[in-house]
Amino acid sequence: GDSVTQMEGPVTLSEEAFLTINCTYTATGYPSLFWYVQYPGEGLQLLLKATKADDKGSNKGFEATYRKETTSFHLEKGSVQVSDSAVYFCALRHTGANSKLTFGKGITLSVRP
Amino acid sequence: GAGVSQSPSNKVTEKGKDVELRCDPISGHTALYWYRQSLGQGLEFLIYFQGNSAPDKSGLPSDRFSAERTGGSVSTLTIQRTQQEDSAVYLCASSIARPYEQYFGPGTRLTVT
C-alpha cells in the first residue's frame, strides 16, 4: 500500500541554520503531497502542498518540490527561527475514493537561540 | 470563522470502559475524517464520512471502534471495552469536499489506565 518515510529525528539546529527534512513516498497513481506542522500545544496545520510532479509548495519561508523521479518531497528552509520549533509531518493524499491522508512518523525540530 | 472542535480535550478512563469522542466540523464541510496519533503507530487514518454516503471504515483497528455522523455534521467516535493500546490522541478533520484541504481539530487525548 501507499506509505511515507521521513528521516529519523529529532533534529536540533541553531537559529539561522539551513534546514532539510527528507521525505520519500511509495504510492500508486499520482498523489498530492503535503507537509503539516504541529506547534507545541496546538493542532495539525497545513504548511505547504504540491499536487503534481515538479510543483513547488512554499509557505513561511519553507519550500518543498514534488520529485516524481525520486519519489521525494524534501522540506527546506534557508534560515530557521526559534519559532519554527515543532513537529513536522510529511503526508500524501490518496487518489482513491476517500482521499485519506497517509502520514510519515513525524520529526521533531528544535531551534536554539 | 470557527474551526474544527473536539471534546473532551482529555479523557482518562479505566480499561474495559466505553468512551465517546465528539467532533464538530467546520460548518458546510461535507467530508469528515478521524485519525489516531499514537507513539507506536504515528498518525493513522480511521474512518471517513462524505455527505450521505456510506462511511469508509477501512482504517478502524477492531470492531470495538465505531463512528457515526448525525445530520451530516457532528460525529461521534465510540470505543467499546477500551484497552491500554487505545491510548492515543484522536484527531478529527473536515474538508469542503473529498479532494480539498483537510482542517484538523485540536484532538482528544485518551488515556486508558
For residue A89, which residues of chain B lie inside 8 Å, CB to CB? 43
Q: Phi and psi at residue A103, in whole multiples of 5°?
A: -105, 150
B98 closest CB neighbour out of A36, A45, A99? A99
A44 closest CB neighbour out of B56, B99, B104? B104
Whether the pLDDT of residue A80 is over 80: the answer is yes
Closest CA to A32 of B37, B97, B99: B99
- ω into B8 cis (within 30 of 0): yes
Alpha carbon separation from B18 to B14, B90, B107, B110 (Å, rounded)? 9, 15, 18, 12
Q: If chain B, 113 residues long, is cut into consecutive pieces of 10 residues, what is the mean pLDDT of each piece?
A: 90 98 94 91 91 90 95 93 96 84 93 97
Do residues B109 and B96 touch, judged by C-beta distance below 8 A? no
For residue B43, which residues of chain A lie inside 8 Å, CB to CB? 89, 91, 101, 103, 106
| Contact between B48 and A49 using a beta-carbon 8 Å cutoff | no
| Contact between A49 and B101 using a beta-carbon 8 Å cutoff | yes
Residue-averaged pLDDT of chain A: 93
B16 min Cα distance to partner chain A (Å): 28
Per-residue pLDDT reduced to its tens digit, A16-57: 999 999 999 999 888 999 999 999 888 899 999 999 999 999
Q: Given pLDDT bands bounded at 50, 70 and 90, which one contains residue A89? A: very high
What 8-state DSSP symbol labels residue A42? Answer: S
